[in-house]
Amino acid sequence: MPASSDHGTAGTVGFIGFGAMASRMGHNLQAAGYQIVAYTPSGKGGDGTARFLPSPRLLAEASGGTVILCVPDDEALAEAAYGPEGALAGMKAGTLLINTSSVSPEASLALAAAAGERGIAALDAPVSGSTPEAEAGALVVLVGGEAQIVARAQPIFDIIGKATIHAGPAGSGSKLKLVINGIMGAGLAAVAEGIGYGLAAGLERDMLFEALDSVAVISPHHKRKLKAARTGDFRPQFPTRLMQKDMRLLLDDAARVAAPVPTMAATTQLLSLTRRLHPNDDYSALFAVMESMVANTP
């Protein structure tokens, strides 16, 4: 991520949704010379450095031609984008709409079509990474849309991320995001089940966690989750409610294209249970659920 801009103010970017991920992206854009304006339903978010507007439409009107959506689900996307107070109503032809939200491919395709009817350039560009990567400007941006629009957005992507993957036409970024998160969720579930078995079989807990941290079969991401789970630190980097939502979207789209995903389906059930118990904790709270299950089994 560039530490500073060599051309003064680079322009104004509007964020719709300014939570843990978006505020960190916004901070990095500010450090590179951009001005940031934001909208959230509560009027709050970030560290107080962004100016908040009272509606998505007014936010879009105040932005410098680029609006970034970062909302939790399809329903929030529809509320933010459409209608007389939605972002599209405030955007002019020729402006740029970047949707970094993790939403269904159908929602991304519908947004691209609606934007195109108004002459607005749109991309679905969800990101891979959690809050540490967002803070470091080290996200991987997964983009669906036309190549010339991707090139136009690349200066922003270069600030918020370490790599940009152009996955294909509109909707492709959302599909690739579901692939990645499905693998991430299923991988964590496998590790949690392994720990559950090990504890039930009588292995010593600290030894088990140390052993798994030492072997190559556990990914760096899952090792980070292991370290946190060992001490019971489930502060949210990726809340369970969002991970479970992404798994549900994956199952819905997999069923639509008749792709069998039995392992990911089972993982979704485990994450549904975890969401019931730990909705706003990190999704690695699945470790705590599995440990509790084996502890309470005769």
Q: How many CB atoms lie within 10 A of CB 277?
A: 13
Mean pLDDT of 154-172: 98
Mean pLDDT for the stretch of residues 42-70: 91
**CATH fold for the domain made of 176-295:** N-(1-d-carboxylethyl)-l-norvaline Dehydrogenase; domain 2 (1.10.1040)
Does residue 253 surpass a pLDDT of 70?
A: yes
pLDDT at 35: 95
pTM above the 0.75 mark? yes
pLDDT tens-digit readout, 21-44: 999 999 999 999 999 999 999 888
H or E segment at 52? strand 51-52
pLDDT of residue 10: 67
What is residue 1's predicted lDDT score, i.e. its pLDDT? 38
pLDDT digits (tens, 9 = 90+) for 184-229: 999 999 999 999 999 999 999 999 999 999 999 999 999 999 999 9
Place 298 in a pLDDT band, splitting at 50, 70 and 90: low
Average pLDDT over the chain reads 94
> Is 292 a residue whose pLDDT tops 60?
yes
Give the mean pLDDT of 253-278.
Answer: 98
43-47: long-range contacts, CB 8 A cutoff, minimum separation 24:
45/17, 45/18, 45/19, 46/18, 46/22, 47/23
- The pLDDT, as a whole number, for residue 36 is 96
| Domain boundaries of the chain, sorted by first residue | 11-169, 176-295
Residues near 165 by beta carbon (within 8 Å), at least 6 away in sequence: 140, 141, 142, 143, 176
The pLDDT tens digits of the residues spanning 94-117 come to 999 999 999 999 999 999 999 999
Q: What is the mean pLDDT of residues 155-181?
A: 98
**Among candidate residues 166, 113, 137, the one with its CA nearest the CA of residue 28:** 137
The mean pLDDT value for 69-77 works out to 97
CATH H-level superfamily of 11-169: NAD(P)-binding Rossmann-like Domain (3.40.50.720)
Catalytic residue among 175, 177, 225, 245: 177
Q: How far apart are the C-alpha atoms of 138 and 154, rounded to whole Å? A: 14
Give the CA diameter of the chain. 67
Q: Tell me whether residue 177 is one of the annotated catalytic residues.
A: yes
Q: Where are the alpha helices (DSSP H) in 47-136?
A: 56-62, 74-81, 87-90, 105-117, 131-136
The pLDDT value recorded for residue 47 is 75
11-169 with 176-295: one CATH topology? no
